[in-house]
Amino acid sequence: MRTVRMLTAAALAAGGLLAGAGAAAAGSPSANASASPGGGAAGPTEAGTAFRTATPLQPGLRATAEASTGDYLYWVLPLDSGQRATVKASVKLPPAASRHAASTWRIDVYDGLRRRQACTYGAQSATAAKDAASVELSCTLRTVRPGAEPWAHDPLPGSYYVRLTAAEVAKEDLGQPVRVEVSAETRDTGGAFAVDGALAQPLVPGITARLAAEAEGGAAGPAGGDRPAAVGEPDGGWSGGRWSDRWVWTAAGGVLAALAGVFGYSLTRGRGRPQHVPPRG
pLDDT digits 0-9 by tens, 128-155: 999 999 999 999 999 998 887 777 888 9
Is it the case that residue 33 has pLDDT exceeding 50? no
Mean pLDDT within 43-55 = 93
Looking at residue 172, what is its pLDDT? 94
Name the most confidently modeled range: 17-21, 24-28, 128-132. 128-132
CA-nearest of 154, 160, 257 to 198 is 154
Task: Report which of residues 177 and 274 the model is more confident about.
Answer: 177
Please give the helix or strand (H or E) that residue 112 lies within, else none.
none
Is it the case that residue 94 has pLDDT exceeding 90? yes
Looking at residue 265, what is its pLDDT? 76
**Sequence ranges of the domains in the chain:** 1-29+236-265, 30-189
CATH dotted code for 30-189: 2.60.120
Task: Report which of residues 217 and 179 the model is more confident about.
Answer: 179
Distance between CA 76 and CA 267 in Å, rounded?
A: 61
Looking at residue 202, what is its pLDDT? 81
